[in-house]
Structure 1
Amino acid sequence: MATESITTRSVSDVPWADVRAVFGTRGDPAGCWCQFFKIGSAEFSGSPAQHLEALLCNQVKDQDVPPGVIAYLDGKPVGWCAVEPRSKYPRILRSKVVTGGSQESPEDGTVWAVSCFVVRTGYRRRGVSVELLNAAIAQARRLGARVIEGYPIDTAERKASSADLYHGPLSLFQNAGFEIVSRPLHGRAVVRMVLD
């Protein structure tokens, strides 16, 4: 049996068609395009998927900091991980998980966040999320992050559907070397890795 090859690239270095393939045309990713934490509730809930896709596309083109990384399995685009300075995510900064659990100042631009994972159906449980998180850490480090946070689900404490696991499971972050900072809500943790 041949070994599958997983590679990752910054979203700014891939064809937009590959991003579209990962987000798909149905399900939560196709209706979010990683904009939920970035825009207000009214704009998010009132926006068609095409508008949300355009927002992400513009963020990839217009920002100095790419908003994420894409994973490939044997050359096929199969996954996404959002990673940016935490200040890019107003809803995260206002969330109970962060206000009740982070030790970092909301104004600190050197604090980055891993906010979302997407792995296409049919490609899960094959190590894609592990490689996405490693690539997110590397991109944050390369672009000047001091600390990177995550807000995972503790699946040992709380059952979660695959849709709910977009935050990532706690074990994924712990295996990558993140430390638990707090547990502000049942089944949720704030984790961090110091990069400097």
Structure 2
Amino acid sequence: MHAAVTDETETTGQLRILPANDAPFADVAAVFGTKGDPAHCWCQWFKIPGSDWRSIGDDGLRDRLEAQLATSDTGPGLLAYDGDTPVGWCAVEPRPNLVRLARSRIVTGGTAHPDFADPDIWAVTCFVVPRAYRKRGVGRALAEAAVTCARGHGARVIEGYAVDASRREKHVAAELFHGTVSMFEAAGFAEVARPSADRVIMERRLRG
């Protein structure tokens, strides 16, 4: 199953995946919901210095994502649909946009690309799939689509920061928002480092 994400909507199996900036923001908001971590983060964690995080609030974080979708043509995410129903989100964009990655011990302890200002390195940092649509391959399809999105924008490498669920005795879905090793492997990523027993730096080289 291969996904293509360009300026047009593409189909992946029973799913359609398109750049989220081509979708109504109401559909993005429907995926993030009103409860749980997604509704309190709006994929802004890696974009905001810690000193500023607590002062912004949920509404401010939501507004930031809406503004980013309205003004950027390189991410910050993809939206999956089952028919007309939005069923998943994947955050993917150039790594320099994600200021906290350079301060993450998981990332800095394993990346093969320590220049965090390099715009040719992209990152997949988050998946959001509402409970009703899990275990249907939505995350895997989004990971594949993220590769095609990054390649279409000229990225040289795309990274993911996966969770190895097999190394955790117990886990809940909320802890897997980074994506799992199996999801990334299905999208052609390979392990390049393991900064901790259950966290894996995954990489796919797109050119060069």
Match of 1:20 among 22, 29, 36: 29
The separation in 1 between residues aligned to 2:76 and 2:23, in whole angstroms, is 13
Question: Equivalents in 2 of 1:189, 1:32: separation in Å?
Answer: 23
TM-score normalized by the length of structure 1: 0.94
Identity over aligned residues, as a percent? Answer: 46
- Mean Cα deviation higher: 59-68 or 73-82: 59-68
Cα deviation per residue 1:17-64 (whole Å; 9 max; x = unaligned)?
101101111111001000001002232223221100110111111223
62, 69, 84: which one pairs with 2:71? 62
Task: Say yes or no: does 1:96 pair with 2:105.
Answer: yes
- The residue that corresponds to 2:187 in the other structure is 176
When normalised by structure 2's length, the TM-score is 0.89
On the 8 A contact 2:193/2:201 being kept in 1, the answer is yes
Match of 1:194 in 2: 205
Give the match for residue 19 of structure 2.
Answer: 10
Q: Deviations over 1:94-150 (max 9, x none)?
A: 111111100112232100000000001110000111111111111111111100000
In the alignment, the residues of structure 1 paired with residue 44 and residue 108 of structure 2 have an alpha-carbon distance, to the nearest angstrom, of 20
1:1-196 matches, cutoff 5 A: 5-104=14-113, 105-158=115-168, 159-196=170-207
Letter in 2 for 1:152: A
Gaps spanning 5+ residues in structure 2: where? 1-12
Question: 2:144 is paired with a residue of what secondary structure?
Answer: helix
* Residues matched between the structures, number: 193
RMSD: 1.2
